[in-house]
Structure 1
Amino acid sequence: MYGLIAQGKVPRTLAVTTLALTALILLAGCVASAANEDSEPATEFDNVEDPHQPQPPSTVPAPAAPKPALTLDERAAEKAAALTLEQKVAQLFVVTPEAITEVGTATQAGEATKEALAAYPVGGLVYFKKNLLSADQTREMIANSQTYAQDACGLPLLVGVDEEGGTVSRIGGNPGFAIPNVGNMADVGATNDPTQAQAVAQTIGGYLCDLGFNLNFAPDSDICGNPATDVMALRSFGTDPALVSDMVSAQVKGFANAGVLCCAKHFPGIGGMTGDSHEGAIVTQNTLDELRIGELAPFEAAIEADVPMVMVGHLTAPNAFGNDVPASLNPAAVTDLLRGELGFQGLVITDSLSMGAVGDFCTPDQAGVMALLAGADLVLMPEDFASAYRGVLDAVCAGTLSEDRIDQSVMRIVKAKLALDES
């Protein structure tokens, strides 16, 4: 065609049209070629990824590292901070169930106990032989009380008993229990074998734990004076400070192995003293140096064995402490000697404040305050619980007793309870 045009044999209009079409075809080919050079051929499904192509890294965040577990101190601080002042003050008392329920003799824990613990979430309850009828009854009573205590303030109770063996035994030898009495500690001491003392403690601790108790007010750490006249003669391991120290240390280990808190008593040592603190004042003329080489030795051994609690007795020692204040209420005995010189960091509990040695010295509303000011953490069995509880609250409100001082003891109490739950 192009040759015909050149020769002039094709009409001019047809030639122009032909040339225009040819140009358009050439132009379209160039555009298509350029497009093919700049793009990939489309697939059937545009959103399907090519499995042969490397994939971008995942954008899912890594799981957060677990928070470190709280220490015992931190958990105790949280628990203590959640308590009201009234609840903290109640935690400082260990009382009989009758003291808060006002029943004649408590042998079960029901609605009265539930209401009492809601009103007064005390730190602990102590049971005597009259409360303990059988193994099943005891387990149920303690289990119910623990449930009510947890509901009241989120903390368990210290559930205590005097189970030394021999003349001081609430369960061993009790007709309601198929548990023999382990015998007097004087006889255990006479074996001169600390392993015997440890085995006895493990036996006692074992049946106490089985029944629901977590605190035993033993071992007796007093040194016997004259076995013929000393009221502690059968309860003490003996007259030799070294022997008594070895026996006490062994029993602390035995109770720990059984999983029950124990309590060395009666600091600074009431063996060999005349009189009975249940009835009135008991006095020693010993100096502090004389106490150090005698009566204090078993308590030092107990502390060395990590005893968790020490009970302070009502001994008056004017030559050792410079006044006639009973040791349980005396800062010179508790703060200066037990805490300071002997370095004891565990729980300090008074002997029963319902005893004559205290009642002759101060009123019930003063006794708890004096014990706490002296350095005690736990007030045992005040003569009138309601009066003693109100006395402590009033002292805090008046500034006589600081809330910081209350908090120190509450922290020790809460730590001991949380540690028990973990054991």
Structure 2
Amino acid sequence: MSAWGRATTLVLAAGLALSGCGVIGTARADRMNSWVTATAAKMSLPEKVGQLFVTRVFGPGADTADPRNREMAGVDTPAEVVRRYHVGGVCIFANTGNVQNPPQLARLTNGLQQAVGAGPGLLVSADQEQGLVVRIGPPATQFPGNMALAAAVLGADDDDTAVRDSATITAQEMKALGVNQNYAPDADVNVNPANPVIGVRSFSSDPELTARLTATAVEGLQDASVSATAKHFPGHGDTTVDSHTGLPVINHSPEEWERLDAPPFRAAIDAEVDTIMSAHIVMPKLDTSGEPATLAPKLLTGLLRDELGYRGVIITDSLGMEGVRAKHPDDQIPVLALQAGADMLLTPPKLDVAINGVLDAVRRGVLTEKRIDQSLRRVLELKWRRGMLTPQQVDLAKIPQVVGTREHLATAKRISTDAITVLGGQLPWRSGKSTLIVAAKQEQLDAAAEVVRTYGPTETMVAGTDLDAVLAKAKQFDRTILLAGRAHEELAKKLATLDKPVAGVAVAEPYVAKVKLPVWLASYSTNPDSVRAAMNVLFGAAPGKGRLPVEIPGSGR
């Protein structure tokens, strides 16, 4: 008998029952099962299928017409999208006009829930990973991303408080705005420094550290009543291709996968994560079909369900990404995903095409209604556990008491400071000398200059493509600070030729620090708090307590 089977036997013997992704008392399980069964029995086939889709909508208000809604779904407003297609969820994005300010977002989510009518409430989701991937910007509290959080944890002698606080506060603020599901945490182990899409979104290159912090983040989100999502199964950490634009292939053997990729997902399952998101990646040594994991039964059903024992909701990554659209038409992709074992289908490019594709597959016998019912049950169980028996409304008057409060902002500032890692060099720098700050964007320069100007004459320069112009400018100053992203390796090499003090601050992945500069720090984040914190460490106003959560090839670090 497997470990999961032994655990199940013991649980049932103790008078408990297994829900979709956790252990609950039998009385509570009976109530859940009764509600799920009764709710499903009232649904038509189109209503059942609709519950399996999470769509994007366009515009700032539920009743605001936007031509992009008609292009995607054949209707004018977000509310009409919800009513016509009976969708199980809506995913919020800033670039669809959904997010302007906290009261507006809360009115939108309230309007979307009202559009449901008498059915179960909507899952309103967002990719609020923090750091590099954020859909709800200021005045909501902005934390640095996972790699910075891991650096803070390591610098605090493995105390996970930074991760738990970030997850809890993020969830509290999302919940206050009517967003009840977070597509976070990222559970990928970033073992490839050239990874173009994960990087600082990952906690670490250490599978065990990533596993522990993934579980902490799941618990922090879900203890604050926001559904968490571990992503991207079976692991997107060792790729050089972005699945938004191509189809990555990861050649991990079963043994390598078990050692490198599996631990965070096992930890998330043990933490009773509500949802796991599939990746549009091919793993030919785990599955010979050549399909991305999202469409691969051997990976979603065989590996995730059967081997790892996951019983919660499996959601696809966006069905609009090229990694999943490379081989199949848009009306067939959701059908193949359901056949593979997915339960929810995220943001297809044409909602009407995708839903009609599934309905047609059921009518033709390619999919059975029983298969639809299996996924529907998991979705409804999730909604029951999160109190979504009916559409919920949020109180706009309470938003200022939760979103971007002084206490929350102070916590984000503390964590940003605790993450700063001194990678090498003699600190602190002294005041009274002229300083040039170079960065990719003006907002980074403004945050840095706010601190550096207190220590002497300071100018800023946006780093363009003319590296010699930057070098010539730097020669006019006593010292130079480079806020370095992954594209700045060649510029760092140019500045290394100066016979003057140069400090690099890795504001994204720290791998750029393989270039030899007199001083290197890592903030892992371009957030203003992180940039200011790095400057404070550089000039001795704060300690650099963070520790590096990844290895930097070629640097000795």
Q: TM-score range by the shorter chain?
A: 0.7 to 0.9
2:103 to 130, 136, 141: 136
Which shifted more, 90-99 or 391-400? 90-99
Unaligned ranges ≥5, structure 1: 1-67
SS at match of 1:95: strand
Indicate conservation of the 8 Å contact 2:185/2:228, yes or no. yes
Shift of 1:128: 0.7
2:332 and 2:357 in contact (8 A); partners too: yes
Letter in 2 for 1:169: V
Aligned with residue 357 of structure 2, among 371, 380, 391: 391
- Out of 44, 47, 66, which is 1:103 matched to? 66
Q: Deviations over 1:60-96 (max 9, x none)?
A: xxxxxxxx99610111110011000011011110010
Distance 1:273 1:229 in 2: 5
CA positional deviation for 1:230: 4.6
3-state DSSP of counterpart to 1:295: helix
The amino acid of 2:296's aligned partner reads N
Tell me which residue corresponds to 2:45.
85
Picking from 147, 172, 177, the partner of 1:186 is 147
Task: Give the one of 107, 112, 116 matched to 1:145.
Answer: 112
Retained in 1: the 8 A contact 2:48–2:376?
A: yes
Amino acid at match of 1:185: N
Paired amino acid for 1:170:
R
Selected match of 2:322 from 348, 356, 361: 356
Q: How does 1:407-422 map to 2 (within 5 A)?
A: 407-421=373-387
Q: Give the superposition deviation at 1:290.
A: 1.4
Query: Which of the pair has more CA radius of gyration?
Result: 1
In structure 2, how many angstroms separate the alpha carbons of the residues matched to 1:115 and 1:233? 38
Cα distance, 1:393–1:102 mapped onto 2, change above 3 Å:
farther
1:381–1:111 CA distance, 2 compared to 1 (3 A):
closer
| Secondary structure of the structure 1 residue equivalent to 2:230 | strand
Q: What percentage of aligned pairs have identical amino acids?
A: 36
Q: Do structure 1's residue 155 and structure 2's residue 115 form an aligned pair?
A: no
- Asked whether the 8 Å contact 1:224–1:230 carries over to 2, the reply is no
Point out the structure with the larger helix share. Answer: 1
Distance 1:80 1:250 in 2: 33
Matched, 1:255 2:221: yes
Deviations 1:20-55, CA, capped at 9 Å, x for gaps: xxxxxxxxxxxxxxxxxxxxxxxxxxxxxxxxxxxx
Could you tell me which amino acid in structure 2 is paired with residue 134 of structure 1? Answer: N
Matches of 1:145 and 1:214 in 2, distance apart?
Answer: 13
Deviation, structure 1 residue 422: 6.8
**Cα distance in structure 1, aligned partners of 2:223 and 2:371:** 32
Name the CA distance, whole Å, in 2 between partners of 1:156 and 1:194.
Answer: 33
2:131 aligned with 1:166, yes or no?
yes
Quick one: distance in 2 between partners of 1:419 and 1:185?
27
Q: C-alpha separation between the residues in 2 aligned to 1:422 and 1:160?
A: 13
Per the alignment, residue 10 of structure 1 pairs with none
Give the 5 Å matches for 1:171-320.
Answer: 171=136, 174=137, 177-191=138-152, 192=154, 193-227=159-193, 229-320=195-286
* 1:367/1:253 CA distance change after superposition, 3 Å: same
List gaps (5 residues or longer) in structure 2: 1-26, 70-74, 390-557
Q: Which of these residues, 272, 287, 291, is aligned with residue 321 of structure 1?
A: 287
The number of aligned residues is 347
Q: 2:310 aligns with which of 344, 352, 367?
A: 344
Amino acid at match of 1:304: D
Given that residues 82 and 115 in structure 2 are in contact (C-alpha distance below 8 angstroms), is that contact kept between their aligned partners in structure 1? yes
Q: Aligned partner of 1:400: which letter? A: V
CA distance in 2, matches of 1:201, 1:266: 18
Q: Tell me if the contact between 1:347 and 1:413 (Cα under 8 Å) persists in the aligned partners.
A: yes
Equivalent residue number for residue 36 of structure 2: 76
SS of 1:196's equivalent? helix
Secondary structure of the equivalent of 1:168? Answer: coil
Query: TM-score of the superposition, structure 1-length normalised?
Result: 0.78
Equivalent residue number for residue 420 of structure 2: none
TM-score of the aligned structures, taking structure 2 as reference length: 0.60
Other structure's SS at 1:321 match: coil
Partners in 2 of 1:220 and 1:189 — Cα distance? 12
Counterpart-to-counterpart distance in 1, 2:359 and 2:388: 32
CA contact (8 A) 2:58 2:77 kept: no
State the SS of the aligned residue for 1:314.
coil
Q: Counterpart in 2 of 1:12?
A: none
Q: Report the Cα offset of residue 415 of structure 1.
A: 1.6
Structure 2 distance, partners of 1:422, 1:381, is 21
Partner-residue secondary structure (3-state), 2:129:
strand
